Structure 1
């Protein structure tokens, strides 16, 4: 398009009389692209500057080079209406055009350089000024050759850096894998092997390419920050500008990006240099600091970068920015402890030195290490942040020392920094980008405080690229890359010889840790013992990285003999039973332990004590705590530490304010009276322990039990209907799929997609393997029971639910909620989150079936007979595994009886009890047959009003008093497994029981009181009703109490409750829903809400509508029955 053609196009649109500013946008875009090659023009860009969004951004190689703001044809560009907007753009944008499509004003660095008109408006038409065309075109070309700092948004810079770095990482990873496959001894392969040998021994090609890409990105970042000549920048210049305070980064950058740079990445690296040439980094960071209201723009920028570069890497490494008030509190607490507990009047600023023994270079066979020991003088208060990230804690320590000791001593500051500060501050970091940023942050901070190095050869910061959780390695000095060995050797020296007195920081939180080295794994074994006894658990929670860092810090404090560990980390270790060995070990090591529980656990749905919102100080779901652990060395070896605890609830900003305004000594800690075997670090009500422990544990009673199945890919391996699952598997097996296909179609994680593809050829469809699955309360779904589909199929236990009639209890080892509602029932296999939302639930089948090849086909109770014997004694009854007919008694199976409920009198059936053909005993006014065992009827008429109401139906427990083993001519001789299960189920649904024993129910499998004959059968009856209602087998649930009165599309949109109505969308609702049913909890879920939410966007069918109404009846009845249970004195 020529300028003439551009104007002709404008004229056509203008003459219509209905065109507006936006009408001409595409025409100007086309003209610019025609006049200047190799540029991109973006119309209406988003978030390109921090001053607003001009109408166009001109980019070259993705780098902004100019901006254009356009107004409608004929508008006065000098109008006061535009003054504020244009002034803002001129101040912020160095290369700017303001135009009405005919008149063009050119601004450079805020000043009007020139303006030109290429047309005027006469008689309602656009009249070209042809003589100005050439000059106009030259001005446009000149505008597009501008070289300046046109990247103004820190987020934009982070995105562009991350994009280039990601491209570098992908290119390098593919190149390296190809080199390894070809056994090609390339420079890149050699660099990889060197890194692996010297620095990070478990380094993978992906990990190495990450280091490589981040080195290039952040090497240039550091170099550009120190570049005073902004008009030029290249990778060669970057190598010279990286500060000498970080010799490792300086050398590594030159090593990977110097004259021997790999040709496969050279172009991308040079493009990255072009990005930095367009940035005034000092200016952009200072603005970013002000806009984010923080003194640490480095952290925010790095988080933006990492989120764009690889958000999964951030999660895998547990990288989370620590809020400044938290960092400040921890640093101040450490200073306070050093003064109060160790008598160091200068606290963190202490300059005291001590002498230590270290290995010399001279061999000595008599020495343990094989080297002669020599004496070395070092500072006493050595500080280590073992997961230093971008150096936030070390930087805060510097600021604290400067502000409290040197503001009036500026003349002594530089000398103090070199002689007494840098030698004491140590940090380890595994991610190259954050390692580089930590160096840059400390460099910037010390410069801001007025520190002036004595010479260009001043000592480096003691922040090292190393894996903290690897033990020091003695072999690094013999390898060829000396400067790489120096980095490793200096890190090893800290690990091996430095008497670390303070360990502080925010260690990573990663439940599935990749740090599985032999050294740290052996240290973690100490956390599996209590009072010298191994508690034989293989919980992966003890493998969380934060636990390993706690043990790592403990190792250094123990090695030094005294010191302080100050971390913020997940608060689960304070009271989770799995961490009892960890707590016991900490109690043995330290003298005093201070914990500030910051709560904010959205997984537990934590709220403030008054019910108001409780927020996390991080943007994560796990609750956290600040932990200050002090070892003075004065405590006797057989003594345990004193523990002090404080709860801090509330909104995030309120917590920040509290931490900012308080010190360790000003907080009203409560001393914790811990006890065996759990040694909790939070106050617990232990008054009911003796009573509680008299009962039997369900995990002991049902010896065969297991946690529920884990598919690792629910959206693929579980479906609402059998047909849906069949169609899904057939599609998977018959049509070629890739990992990406599966992940995208079923929203799967990479691990399951990869795993299921590896299993594909070993999957053969068997219709018998399609089985029902108790997925969530009242939500039975389907799965394919095969270990090629289900990651953890728990076949040893779950098979007993497939071989015949069976039922089982669902409960959990722990529960993070005060409501203690983690009890449910199932007659099918069970998913791990079915009965406990916050952790996982376990399943306890009532019966065990023999293997298919067994000659004996009879089932046996899954009960510990020693406990059953004690129950027999308590009841004075005989236990029978399978009731048999005797005298006038009827065997119990499918026994029918009448039940009076809130919804009327209905007949009920119990399918779990086996029933000989033709027998269906019924409760009648003039006779009684007990379901569980069998009855001997010694009279023709049982008229005890305590058992029967006027109509002969069973009423409330008050009508059932006196139902004993021998009463009114009825002799109950025995009890069976289902009676015992029903009794347990009733007890677990007692609100009084849950409240009385909640402290214990939250930390271990429930213990149940041994039954007494006075109340046993009453509780059995109520437990039986609950069981059948929860399994939706009782006909009670079909006596609907709700209606569904409005016709519509039945699509679930946004379920909500109002005035007794549960709306599934704006027009349709279930009416007469009791509020108690809507809000009722089972297993941490609110079934009336969750069932609908899980079907959002789906049409409810006829059976779905009926099923939901059954749920409402079941929840309403559960509430009633629980209140009835509490009327029985247990």
Structure 2
């Protein structure tokens, strides 16, 4: 921007504020460039060196080759990664590829015309646009370019510049929380307007505000509740942002919300945002912590603005695609079917955890955020959601969905940006029994009528998490005993133990290494707690199970008593992360969570508590009891069958290829369901197959002919 205004002059950093049109940015500059502060930080000389380096640049040659639209990519990668990588990681700040930005803006423009009846789309002066997490302004710039193209086609060349500037000032808004991208967004918009022969003058500024987009949408009940601000520029900025939030009839909310699960604690208005997604009327209740992710708050903020404040409009976000089918988001999806009239999903895949970043054919499927500077992109899969509310409004029971895979997805977005919203998509009707997943699901006709695994075997336990595998788990029992005896040897100092077993002396999270060892030295080594341990499927080792302290990260004290000779366990997960269902492993010993924290274990039998649970329990009754629900017990009684029959039948079912193939979509969504045979003969035949299979799955059981 300075170069555009001072083609032949020398750059003086002390005078650079004269190029800044936004009082807020000038205030930031004043705070940073205060002489006493700069001297105290020894930055004056560094800034002088920077200015000298810039003044040695052949600006004519540099700007002849420098593409201004690519400047933002340099800001995110590698500048932001080096400038503040921790903040970038915490907030999930990522550069949005231009193909994605162009596609989303084009889709919104089309939807405004075709669904809301606004002939000029984004160019209509009544259309107010907001990017609530605008970063460096990519979406705002593209919106203004789209407006310029429409005005040019309409023949409004004489007023094009002034109309474009009016849009940038009065109806194309952006919010940003981080000062650095906030400054760059104003730079980008200023350059665009200068290029259109409509430069900002005097106190004119683009409608981008430094603010938290998740708060301030409702005026405070008491003006005294509003925190005082020391600088008038900050107060002006806050008030201008509040006017957009509380008064503007925003018709379009578009952007790329932060990706990472938020580690901070939301307060007040921001905390309450997603409460609307925590309730369901038809779908299963939300489970897990997914609603705490930051991007979900942005979805709710946008939905509330369009649905409850404006009454109609478009939300178009690219985000983590977990919400499309995650168990945490059943209320979110149910609500969207109620409050929006049209839903389009462009699933961009590229997920490390579900698909290993591979297409169904096994070809590379990179993240849409992969760039020259960041080949991996982000690890989670992503999707573009376009949500439309019309007036009058009617609920919908279907959505439109498409998958984009592989290295050609960027080009595919470009090529389909102007196409209609029907021919590209598959229409699907989300199933209430599965929690309204917003992606296709393969499920057998009778599957949802079968009981879930916990509805058959109601008690289960999460697997153990050691967090110190190298020291507490071993393939050799005697070696593990020797290591633990040295840990419990009071003649060895902490430093000596640290050399022998470093993980046991490293304080991490909830584990305070030295206080734990001090306590255990007083109590002593429990040799009998060296037990067999299923570390991974088909990999049984030895574990020192510590019952009292955080030596084990999650010891699962409630799980341990039920592991005894003769008991059987089925491993399962409520959420299947891989495309293919591969659960149902059988164990007879204590088991790990299998590395991901998701595996749980369903026992055939439970040991009663040592003391009576009620006045009517017989004291001293320690015989194992079947782990059966009332429904399962009644079913077995009707067929005159035993708990072992139902347990082995379940093992057989979970490994049946037809069961896995016919219900593949549903098996990814929740606990597996178990069909109950109608006859005793069918149950016993299936149970016999399951009994043989259980022996093959359990390396602790010798099987003739199998090594």
TM-score range (shorter-chain normalised) is: 0.7 to 0.9
* Match 2:46 to one of 271, 287, 291: 271
Matched, 1:1014 2:681: yes
Report the Cα distance in structure 1 between the residues aligned to 2:210 and 2:56, rounded to whole angstroms. 24
1:578 matched to which residue of 2? 328
The aligned runs of 1:607-1006 (5 Å cut-off) are 607-618=358-369, 619-636=377-394, 639-640=395-396, 642-651=398-407, 654-662=408-416, 663-665=418-420, 667-677=423-433, 678-686=435-443, 688-689=444-445, 691-711=446-466, 723=479, 726=484, 734-735=493-494, 753-757=508-512, 760-761=515-516, 764=520, 766-767=525-526, 768-781=528-541, 782=543, 784-785=545-546, 788-796=550-558, 798-802=559-563, 806-833=567-594, 840-851=598-609, 855-873=620-638, 875-877=639-641, 975=642, 977-1006=643-672
Which residue of 1010, 1018, 1024 corresponds with 2:691?
A: 1024
Query: C-alpha deviations, 1:285-309, integer Å up to 9, x for none?
Result: 9969968x88322233332122223
Distance verdict in 2 for CA 1:263–1:867, change over 3 Å: same
Alignment partner of 1:527 out of 260, 269, 277:
277
Residue aligning to 1:444:
191
Checking the alignment, whether the CA contact within 8 Å between 1:696 and 1:1008 is kept in structure 2 is yes
1:577 CA drift (Å): 3.5
* Contact 1:807–1:826 under 8 Å retained in 2: yes
Q: Which residue of 1 aligns with 2:148?
A: 402
Question: The residue matched to 1:626 in structure 2 has which SS?
Answer: strand
- Cα gap change, 1:746 to 1:799, in 2 (>3 Å): closer
1: CA distance between counterparts of 2:79 and 2:519? Answer: 42
Offset at residue 730 of structure 1 (A): 6.9
CA drift of 1:338 comes to 1.2
Mapped to 1, the partners of 2:181 and 2:635 lie a distance apart of 62
Q: Deviations over 1:11-50 (max 9, x none)?
A: xxxxxxxxxxxxxxxxxxxxxxxxxxxxxxxxxxxxxxxx
> How many Å apart are 1:843 and its aligned residue?
1.8
The residue that corresponds to 1:318 in the other structure is 92
Aligned to 2:103: 329
Rounded Cα–Cα distance in structure 2 between residues aligned with 1:1014 and 1:626: 51
1:463 is aligned to 208
Instruction: Determine the C-alpha separation between the residues in 2 that align with 1:563 and 1:283.
Output: 48
Cα deviations by residue, 1:778-803 (Å, 9 ceiling, x for unpaired): 2234365455234444333x223456
Q: Show the 5 A alignment for 1:53-64.
A: none
> Partners in 2 of 1:288 and 1:706 — Cα distance?
63
CA RMSD of aligned residues (A): 3.6
**What is the alpha-carbon distance in structure 2 between the residues aligned to residue 731 and residue 390 of structure 1?**
59
Q: Residues of 2 paired with 1:865 and 1:286: CA distance?
A: 81
- In 1: Cα distance, 2:551 partner to 2:4 partner: 53
Residues 286, 330 of structure 2: 8 Å contact kept: no
Q: Quote how far apart the aligned CAs of 1:1003 are.
A: 1.2
Partner SS for 1:319? coil
Give the SS at the match of 2:400.
strand
> Can you give the 5+ residue segments of structure 1 that lack an aligned partner in the other structure?
1-221, 353-380, 878-974, 1041-1130
Match of 2:702 in 1: 1035
Cα displacement (A) at 1:391: 1.3
The equivalent of 1:126 in structure 2 is none
Deviation at 1:469, TM superposition (A): 2.0
Q: Does 1:301 align with 2:52?
A: no
Per-residue Cα deviation, 1:998-1043 (whole angstroms, up to 9, x for no partner): 2222212112121332233333233223223322123238854xxx
Give the Cα separation in 2 of the matches to 1:564 and 1:433.
28
Secondary structure at the counterpart of residue 278 of structure 1: helix
Tell me the SS of whatever aligns to 1:645: strand
* Alignment gaps of 5+ in structure 2: 370-376, 613-619
Distance 1:829 1:313 in 2: 40
Displacement of 1:807 in angstroms is 2.8
Give per-residue Cα distances to partners, 1:614-633, cap 9 Å, x unaligned: 33312122221111100012
What TM-score do you get using the length of structure 1 for normalisation?
A: 0.54
1:361-386 deviation line (CA, Å, top 9, x unaligned): xxxxxxxxxxxxxxxxxxxx211111
Conservation of the 8 A alpha-carbon contact between 2:137 and 2:186? yes
Q: Is the 8 A contact 1:389 1:429 kept in 2?
A: yes
> Structure 1 residues 224 and 717 mapped into 2: Cα distance closer, same or farther (>3 Å)?
farther
- Matched-pair contact (CA < 8 Å) for 1:591–1:635: yes
- In structure 2, the CA distance between the partners of 1:734 and 1:569, relative to structure 1 (3 Å rule), is farther
Match in the other structure for 2:346 = 596
Name the CA distance, whole Å, in 2 between partners of 1:712 and 1:841: 15
Choose 765-774 or 500-509, whichever is displaced more. Answer: 765-774
Q: Secondary structure at the match of 1:1008?
A: coil
The SS at the match of 1:322 is coil
1:363 counterpart residue number? none
C-alpha separation in 2, matches of 1:394 and 1:438: 9
Q: Using CA pairs below 8 Å that are at least 6 residues apart, which structure has the higher relative contact order?
A: 2
Question: Do structure 1's residue 253 and structure 2's residue 47 form an aligned pair?
Answer: no
3-state secondary structure, aligned to 1:1014: helix
In structure 2, the residue corresponding to 1:756 is in which secondary structure?
A: coil
Structure 1 pair 499–477 and aligned structure 2 pair: CA distance change class (3 A)? farther
Q: Equivalents in 1 of 2:512, 2:59: separation in Å?
A: 47
Alignment partners' CA distance in 1, 2:488 and 2:161 = 73
2:462/2:601 contact within 8 Å kept: yes
Q: Distance in 2 between matches of 1:225 and 1:712?
A: 57
Q: Secondary structure at the match of 1:520?
A: helix
- Tell me, yes or no, if the aligned pair for 1:289 and 1:295 is still in contact at 8 Å: no
Residue correspondence of structure 1 range 75-474 to structure 2 within 5 A: 233-234=12-13, 236-238=14-16, 240-241=17-18, 243-261=19-37, 264-265=40-41, 267-268=42-43, 270-279=45-54, 295-352=69-126, 381-406=127-152, 411-453=158-200, 455-458=201-204, 460-472=205-217, 474=223
Deviation at 1:324, TM superposition (A): 0.8
Return closer, same or farther for 1:664/1:588 CA change in 2, 3 Å cut-off.
farther
TM-aligned CA distance change 1:693 to 1:1018, over 3 Å: same
Q: Which has the higher strand share?
A: 1
Structure 2: distance between partners of 1:246 and 1:281: 28
Distance 1:465 1:683, change over 3 A: same
Preserved CA contact (<8 Å) 2:428 2:440: yes
Q: How far did 1:499 drift?
A: 1.7
Distance 1:991 1:1032 in 2: 22
Compared with structure 1, are the counterparts of its residues 988 and 523 closer, same or farther at alpha carbon in structure 2 (3 Å cutoff)? same
Question: 1:842/1:568 Cα in 2 relative to 1: closer, same or farther (>3 Å)?
Answer: same
Aligned residues: 668
Deviation of the 1:481 alpha carbon: 2.3
Structure 2 match to 1:556: 305
What displacement does 1:231 show? 5.6
Distance 1:607 1:575 in 2: 19
The CA distance in 2 between the partners of 1:554 and 1:406, in whole Å, is: 32
Q: 1:848 to 1:228 in 2, by over 3 A?
A: farther
TM-score of the superposed pair, with normalisation by structure 2: 0.84
SS at match of 1:780: strand
CA shift in 2, pair 1:811/1:488, >3 Å: same
- Structure 2 partner of 1:1059: none
Query: Cα deviation per residue 1:826-862 (whole Å; 9 max; x = unaligned)?
Result: 223333346xx6x822221222224456744333222
